[in-house]
Structures are given as structure tokens and as C-alpha cells.
Amino acid sequence: MLANVGTGPSVWHKNYPVAQGDRQSPIDIVPNQTSHDPSLGPVVLNYDHCTSIKIANSGHSVVVDFEDSDDRSVIRGGPLDNPYRLKQFHFHWGVKGCHGSEHTVAGNSYASELHLVHWNAVKYTTFGEAATADDGLAVLGIFLQTGDDHRWLNMITDALYTVKFKGSAADFKGFNPKCLLPSSLHYWTYLGSLTTPPLHESVIWIVVKDPITVSEKQLGKLRTLLFTGEEEDQRTRMENNFRPPQLLKGRRLISRRVDITWQVYEGAPGRRAAVRDGKGHSVDLRGQEPSDDGKEITQKI
């Protein structure tokens, strides 16, 4: 929930009647009530670090914006008919030691949730136009659980002092959000909405099943941000900036299971994941074509 009860989710319907609509987000995902669609392909991400522009405090969250005038950073595949361009990403979180994700899984919450927001530039000329269309937006949701430090999240948390106040912004270039993704991208998908006003019912949601791990210290840095501007007398810490789950109202929630091929390379740290699509082609989960060398171990997820 957003911190100010008087202006939070419980009263949004007064100014935004769509808040009580038929495809509102987030939702509670109940795995044993999902449909499995074997024809649904993998999601493929192609992100270019050169497209990140700035980091900002929107008054709802910390936001990293991207250059979206071309297709250098896109999401494709899965439930999407064409590539969607990356516009921005942001986070939702709670108070220390408490839940903060927007989507829940069988009633259980995660500490935080990352949203990567994309728009359909094939059918629409601007992000604003796409945001009001039924198929205008695609949001990739990533759960965050607490544990060890996440190396790459430090690049964001170390920059938060520059955007402490609502409306502040700073340059933030050379960041590739692939580093914030889990190694496997098996997912749930459904038709939903934006989770903050104006709550447009324009989102194809792709919620990744596996979380990433971040530390409580890193989440604590997010909580140093303020909902309020520098010139305001009252300073309100940015906590509980999430909307609670909404009713599914008969919508279909689809589960995507994938065959993961781990390619292990001699002399290379870690491992690399590839997906066998419906035609038997191998596509790297993070948007790269895997090479022919290395041993392969395949498992179903």
C-alpha cells in the first residue's frame, strides 16, 4: 500500500473508477490454478546498456529511464506479438523486515518487486498512446527476496543519494538491467493494469517465477528516499509503495514451463542458460545466441 492512507489505493477509485475494473493489477498468483500453454514461447530480452539515461524519484518509486526511440532495448516472445521497447524500470518495497512485493504467490509476498516497463512501438507512436491501449504495455515483474548483497543492485543504491527528494533526477548511463534478472525466466502471464494511477488496463504482465536475492541493507537504502519534495515542510519516507492484490475476475493466468539448457564453458565462471523453443532452436535466456562449444545439461522447469 502507498504510505498516505488518504490518497492511497483504498481511495483511488474515487478519482479513477477503473480502479474497480475487470483487469486490475497486481493479483495473487495461485500456481495450482494456472493454465499451462505448451505453445507459449520463451521471453527473450535484448537490452543495450547505452540506452540508460537517468535515475529519478517519481514520488512513487526510484525510476531508471531509457532511450526508447529505437529497438536497441526490447522484450519479445512469450505472449507478445511483436517487440516492446524498454521505457523504464522501478521498484516496490515495504518497511524493514516486512513484505513489499505487489504480486503475491499463493498468498505469500516477497520483500520487493522490480518492474521493467515496455511499450508497443509497432502499433503506437508514443508511450503515452500505448499506455491507454489494451495491448500497449508489457511489464516484466521480478521478485526480490532478502539474503546476500546483490552485486549489481549496488550500482543503483549507490546513486540514490542524488534522488532523495520527489522530483529529483540525475544522469545514470551505461546500465544494463539484464544484471538484475534471475538465471531462468520461466514465468506466469496475464492481462492486467498499471499498479499506480491512472491504472490503465493496458498491461500484458509477465511475472518471473524465480526471485533474485538482495540484502536488507540494500533495501534499507531504498527506504532513505522520500515521497515528498525538498521544498515541502513534511518529509515522508518512501515505504510501503505497493498496491495490494486485486480480484482476478475470471481472467486466465497462464504458466510457461521451459526446457533450460545450461551451457558450461571451459575456463568460464558460472554457467549460461539457453531455451529450446517450440521449433527446437536454442535461444539464450538473456537474449544472446549460445555458441556451439561447451557441454549441455537440459532440465525441465
Dump the DSSP string for 130-197: HTTSTTSEEEEEEEEEESS--TTTHHHHTTGGGG-STT-EEE--S--GGGGS-S---EEEEEE--SST
The rounded distance, in Å, linking the Cα atoms of 258 and 189 is 14
Asked about 118 being catalytic, the answer comes back as no
Catalytic one of 13, 49, 60, 118: 60
Cross-strand bridge partners of residue 171 = 54
Residue from 136, 109, 134, 145 nearest 26 by CA = 109
Task: Answer whether 58's CB lies under 8 Å from 229's CB.
Answer: no
The rounded distance, in Å, linking the Cα atoms of 228 and 147 is 30
Catalytic residues: 60
